[in-house]
Amino acid sequence: MSAYKIRTYQFLAEVHCPVTIFHGTSDGIIPYRCASKLKSVLKPGDEFITIDGGTHQNLAEFDLYKTKLDSLLK
């Protein structure tokens, strides 16, 4: 658990461009249940993408992550 509380949900309200959040279900640093609460503050068109089995460090190993990131960067 972090010693610093970062209230991401407050900052998301100030973002005026599309937002995509990737989060793994096996993240041992930021539990998935905590991150999934951010879905409620996303704007229409924003995305919360769940990577089944993903951890905090290995999302780049998953095809879903690579494919979606590639489409976002085009």
Kindly report the CATH number assigned to the domain that includes residue 40. 3.40.50.11320
Residue 51 inside a domain? The answer is yes
The total domain count for the chain is 1
CA atoms within 13 A on the CB side of 27: 18
Residue 69 inside a domain? The answer is yes
pLDDT on residue 7: 80
Q: Which domain holds residue 32?
A: 8-73
For 34-51, write each residue's pLDDT tens digit: 999 999 999 999 999 999
Residue with tokens 């959040």: 21
Residue 1 inside a domain? The answer is no
Residue 57, both tokens: 């460090």
pLDDT on residue 13: 84
Q: Taking the model in full, what pTM does it have?
A: 0.86
Percentage of the chain modeled with pLDDT above 90: 80
**Distance of alpha carbon 34 from its chain centroid, rounded?**
11
For 13-27, write each residue's pLDDT tens digit: 889 999 999 999 999
Contact yes or no for 23/32 (Cβ under 8 A): yes
Residue 39 inside a domain? The answer is yes
